Amino acid sequence: MGQEVVKGNRPVIAVTMGDPGGIGPEVIVRALADRGLRRTARFVVLGSESVLQDAALCQRIEPYWWTVAMDGWSGAEFSVQDVVVMDTDRGWGPIGSAREATKAGGMYSFRLVDLAVSMAREGALGVKADAIVTGPISKEAWSLAGKGKFAGHTELLASRFGVKRVAMMFVGPRLRVVLATVHVPLMDVRNVLTIGRVFDAIELGVEGCRSVGIERPRVAVCGLNPHAGEGGLLGDEEERLIGPAIAHAVEAGMDVRGPFAADTIFGAAVAGKFDLVVAMYHDQGLIPVKLIARDETVNMTVGLPVVRTSPDHGTAFDIAGKGVADAGSMAAALRLAGAARRG
């Protein structure tokens, strides 16, 4: 223990199981059942062996991973195994899998993220992770567990890595979107939106595009109001906040245009006229993303010192344990985590 794992040029990816009662265990098991995907990186799955076994059983998948206890890891497992499950049952105790938001499930999924951060930051448990892939968590469960001050993964990861600027970016085969505000009630968006927030989203989105191979992305910025404010008739945020942020980005050498009416600009991006759309609030960006390619799109946190990705869906308690969850987004998240440029 304590020795970092290095195996060829393949990155080491820490994968958190997410809420034990959600579909996270199922989509991780199904995604990594693809042998081609398993060969792209070394995967350390942080989770409950018993829950993962159940997830495999409900999907009729023969378990393909090597399991080690949290206190029994040596690092040698990576010499022959592409997927290692670091079993929390033999360390934290069994967790169960209630198909609803619970205090226990919230605390468990929160601890998994903290463990993955420690692996990426300082090589906890003898594993220096190059990237983190997070399974879906329940924000309600985190609140029940007393962790409600973190609205989600993005906020927790920013806090743990000590970074002030992060953004939530969604990467799909036909559309890439970054958000200026994330988990903010719609009525409060206009009160928290600033020139700095919009500029940060543009700059971090450009950084995210470069990490996936688009060196000089063409960026379109949405307005906040209908028709991008209609010249001030439907709101002044475009002229007062968004326009100045765009001007600063252009001065910094970025290819940025807007603000555009949100009801038309996503279509232009899908048609190939832009590489990235900057949305002002959560649903403005997420509705087109999930409509166009829900099961192929990846949530990527930009601004962190390590790559972090996740599927673009939630826990889906209503279908968990039935073996019907689509693993496409998780598979895409695992692939992107291995392929994205770091630093």
The per-residue pLDDT for 126 is 81
Neighbours of 136 (CB within 10 A): 26
- Write down the pLDDT at residue 342: 65
Provide the pLDDT for residue 78.
Answer: 62
What radius of gyration, in Å, describes the C-alpha atoms of the chain? 20
pLDDT tens per residue across span 233-275: 898 999 999 999 999 999 999 999 999 999 999 999 999 999 9
Verdict on whether the full-model pTM lies above 0.85: yes
Interacting residues of 118 by C-beta distance below 8 A, sequence separation 6+: 124, 125
27-34 average pLDDT score: 98
CA-CA distance, 326 to 55, in Å (whole number)? 13
- Angle between the 24-32 and 49-58 helix axes, to the nearest 10 degrees? 70
Query: For 161-175, how does the pLDDT look when each residue is reduced to its tens digit (9 = 90+)?
Result: 999 999 999 999 999
